[in-house]
């Protein structure tokens, strides 16, 4: 009589002796005629043994001639609900080509070359998976199971659960281990070895701080077989650093608590490389790489190469406000402060960035000079570099234009279909330009991917932008800020007046400048100033007189001239009765004397205007700081015993020049 299941149970009978316990022997379950059995969703159970199939290729197994045929890539799972697997014997009635050799366990093929093969469990387990590598036709499976080494003979303890699975993490991990079997004791290892009840007992979360740590856990409980081993491998790898640069300043940042190291020569950084402590400046193009280490010594990946471009954001600190037209491109240098100008319209690029173009503001070029343009004129920092733009291994001079205002960044051509000129924070090839100058006109071509790349001024729309058709567009010119001086000549009498169309800085000169804020009926009191605004009347003093070059500056931060009674002459001021007084010397006395009728005060000089019909003929002057200042002589020079020269030698009478009389400087 045929039967579905032939269960041959080999039991070891033991004498029942008071105080003794049953001993559970290994038991074999033989499952034959596989192809003739009734399978439930490709699962077959006989007592405590279950055979199930995972259809990895979507093709169901078939039955034929007492064979059960599994397709390639399907997985056969054999499990026991009691005890642990000991061995599994596979048989086929077909040729060896369809036998056990077509099964793969844990990545390794079963080595059988025949039709009958016994697989021995490599460790204690409740189930085993076998992958079908090529069609397998099996007729019998014999499963031997038995008591685990942990004893108990009952059902297995649930496999422990690790709260964090295998993976790569940017920070150290805290792993908790749990078990669904109440009252079970968990043991674990972190060196990759299989744990047992002599391993470390789990009492609190396990801290994983070292990359490559393999955590394994097992659970035990009296009266049950030990659990399967849970395992996870952890790689700790901090986030690789991010590198950024603004102008010349480089910043490196990344994960909290990490330490960064970097190189600037393109080599791979290590913990022996330069340690990053704060943003730093570089003054040349280079390749930067960085790496991060956490507090446990785990290293990140190396950052991607950062191609650093040295981009000075501040122009050369000239601040003269004096811009001259550039007629040769070789005169343009790295860090120059420039203006983009359209002379035909007397316009300069403004600080305003419209949506797709730059605005304009009026300027007044005069003989190739623009002085102290308004704050609305865009002062551009020119960055000059040598780069290969034609892939011919030959470096060319190229330029970048750094601007600030409503949109800070680098000017760049932004379209091939529209006339766009925009700004971008980090310059790319579309922000790189070549410059050529002919007859004072500058051709600025951006070298990136866009065809509308010629910087021009559009008179119709009053804008600076990029074009590819230039026939109706205005050419531009470049003006460069340079240092400028005004030569000032003082007579041997040590005094002169001045009114300059430029703001002048006397801070570091030997010539002193004074304004007159107080005027009485016959005296003006002078106050020294260092930075004199343009078109301001001043009195100059230099002992013994000479010519000195006085630096021009842009007028920003000039000293207050409010209330100054010294007027600036433009060359149209002429004397009339008792109103106009100019610097002069009579009878050894220097002062402001009445100018005769019809006499013109020269342009660039200063004068005093008196009103009210005063009968005074001269305004003498003294200084508001008499300890250091110089007092001019009156018509009756003071003679006395306390007269000294500047060397401290006592004199019998005053000599020509500066004397110290009663502790005050007096000029004779």
> In this predicted model, what pLDDT tens digit does every residue of 562-599 receive, in sequence order?
999 999 999 998 887 668 899 998 887 888 988 888 88
pLDDT tens per residue across span 189-215: 999 999 999 999 999 999 999 999 999
What one-character-per-residue DSSP string does 575-636 give? --TTTEEEEEEETTEEEEEEPPTTPEEPTT-EEEE--S-----EEEEEES-TTTSEEE--SS
Residue 139 to residue 69: CA distance in whole angstroms: 9
Minimum mean pLDDT range among 224-228, 286-290, 498-502, 647-651: 647-651
Q: Has this prediction a pTM greater than 0.75?
A: no
| Whether pLDDT at 662 is above 90 | no
- Tell me which of 622 and 639 has the higher pLDDT: 622
Residue 572 to residue 568: CA distance in whole angstroms: 11
| Whether pLDDT at 40 is above 90 | no
Residue 81 to residue 86: CA distance in whole angstroms: 13
At residue 449, the pLDDT reads 93
| Whether pLDDT at 515 is above 50 | yes
Minimum mean pLDDT range among 183-187, 244-248, 646-650: 646-650
Residue 240 to residue 262: CA distance in whole angstroms: 12
Quickly count: other Cβ atoms within 10 Å of residue 203's Cβ. 8
Q: Which helix (H) or strand (E) holds 486?
A: strand 485-489
Reduced to 3 states, what is the DSSP secondary structure of residue 508?
A: coil
Residue 595 to residue 598: CA distance in whole angstroms: 8
Using CB atoms within 10 Å of the CB of residue 561, give its burial: 0 to 12 exposed, 13 to 18 middle, 19+ buried. middle
| Whether pLDDT at 16 is above 50 | no
Residue 171 to residue 237: CA distance in whole angstroms: 7
Give me the chain's average pLDDT, please.
Answer: 86
Query: Helices H, strands E: what count in the chain?
Result: 0, 62
| Whether pLDDT at 14 is above 50 | no
Confidence tier at 156 by pLDDT (50, 70, 90): confident
Residue 360 to residue 368: CA distance in whole angstroms: 19
Confidence tier at 18 by pLDDT (50, 70, 90): very low
pLDDT tens per residue across span 418-438: 999 999 988 889 999 999 999
At residue 513, the pLDDT reads 95
| Whether pLDDT at 172 is above 80 | yes
Beta strands in 343-395 (DSSP E): 347-353, 358-362, 369-371, 380-387
| Whether pLDDT at 187 is above 90 | yes
Structure tokens at 547: 């010519």
């Amino acid at each position: 009589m045929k039967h579905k299941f032939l269960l041959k149970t080999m039991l070891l009978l033991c004498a029942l002796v008071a105080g003794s316990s049953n001993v559970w022997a290994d038991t074999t379950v033989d499952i034959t005629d596989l192809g003739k059995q009734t399978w439930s969703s490709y699962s077959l159970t006989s007592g405590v043994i279950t055979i199930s199939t995972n259809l990895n290729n979507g093709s169901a197994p078939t039955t034929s001639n007492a064979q059960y045929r599994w397709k390639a890539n399907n997985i056969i799972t054999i499990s026991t609900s009691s005890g642990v697997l000991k061995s599994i014997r596979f048989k086929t009635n077909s040729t060896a080509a369809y036998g056990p050799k077509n099964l793969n366990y844990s990545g390794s093929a079963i080595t059988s070359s025949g039709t009958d093969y016994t697989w021995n469990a490599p460790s204690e387990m409740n189930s085993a998976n076998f992958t079908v590598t090529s069609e397998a036709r099996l007729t019998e499976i014999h499963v031997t199971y038995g008591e685990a080494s942990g004893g108990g003979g009952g059902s297995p303890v649930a496999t422990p659960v690790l709260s964090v699975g295998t993976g790569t993490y940017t920070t150290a991990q805290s792993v908790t281990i749990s078990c669904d079997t109440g009252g079970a004791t968990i043991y674990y290892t972190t060196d990759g070895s299989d744990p047992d009840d002599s391993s470390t007992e789990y009492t609190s979360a396990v801290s994983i701080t070292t990359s490559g740590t393999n955590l394994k856990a097992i659970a035990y409980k009296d009266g049950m077989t030990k659990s399967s081993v849970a395992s996870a491998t952890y790689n700790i790898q901090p986030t690789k650093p991010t590198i950024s640069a603004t102008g010349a300043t480089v910043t490196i940042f990344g994960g909290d608590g990490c330490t960064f190291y970097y190189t600037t020569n393109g080599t791979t950084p290590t913990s022996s490389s330069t340690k990053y402590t704060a943003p730093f400046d570089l003054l040349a193009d280079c390749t930067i790489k960085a790496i991060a280490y956490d507090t446990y010594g785990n290293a990140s990946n190396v950052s991607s190469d950062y191609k650093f471009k040295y981009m000075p954001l501040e122009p050369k600190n000239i601040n003269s406000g004096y811009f001259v037209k550039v007629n040769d491109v070789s005169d343009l240098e790295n860090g120059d402060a420039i203006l983009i100008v359209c002379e035909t319209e007397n316009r300069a690029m403004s600080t305003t960035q419209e949506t797709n173009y730059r605005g304009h503001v009026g300027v007044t070029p005069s003989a190739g000079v623009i002085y102290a343009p308004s704050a609305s004129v865009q002062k551009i920092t020119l960055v000059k570099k040598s780069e290969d733009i034609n892939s011919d291994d030959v470096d060319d001079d190229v330029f970048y234009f750094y601007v600030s205002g409503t949109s800070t960044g680098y000017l760049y051509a932004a379209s091939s279909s529209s006339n766009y000129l925009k700004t971008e924070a980090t310059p790319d090839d579309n922000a790189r330009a070549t410059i050529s100058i002919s007859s004072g006109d500058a051709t600025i071509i951006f070298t990136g991917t866009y065809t509308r790349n010629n910087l021009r001024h559009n008179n119709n729309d009053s804008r600076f932008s990029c074009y590819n058709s230039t026939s109706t567009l205005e050419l531009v010119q470049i003006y460069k800020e340079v240092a400028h001086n005004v030569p000032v000549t003082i007579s041997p009498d040590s005094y002169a007046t001045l009114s300059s169309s430029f703001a002048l800085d006397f801070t570091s000169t030997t010539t002193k400048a004074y304004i007159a804020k107080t005027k009485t009926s016959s005296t003006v009191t002078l106050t020294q100033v260092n930075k004199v605004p343009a078109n301001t009347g001043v009195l100059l003093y230099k002992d013994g007189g000479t010519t000195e070059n006085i630096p021009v500056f842009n007028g920003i931060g000039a000293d207050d001239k409010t209330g100054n009674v010294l007027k600036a002459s433009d060359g149209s001021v002429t004397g009339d009765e008792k109103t106009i007084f100019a610097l002069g010397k009579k009878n050894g006395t220097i002062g402001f004397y009445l100018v005769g009728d019809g006499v013109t005060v020269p342009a660039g000089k200063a004068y005093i205007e008196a009103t009210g019909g005063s009968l005074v003929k001269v305004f003498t002057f003294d200084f508001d700081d008499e300890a250091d200042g110089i007092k001019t002589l009156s018509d009756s020079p003071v003679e006395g015993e306390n007269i000294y020269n500047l060397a401290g030698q006592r004199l019998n009478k005053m000599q020509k020049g500066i004397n110290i009389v009663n502790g005050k400087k007096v000029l004779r």
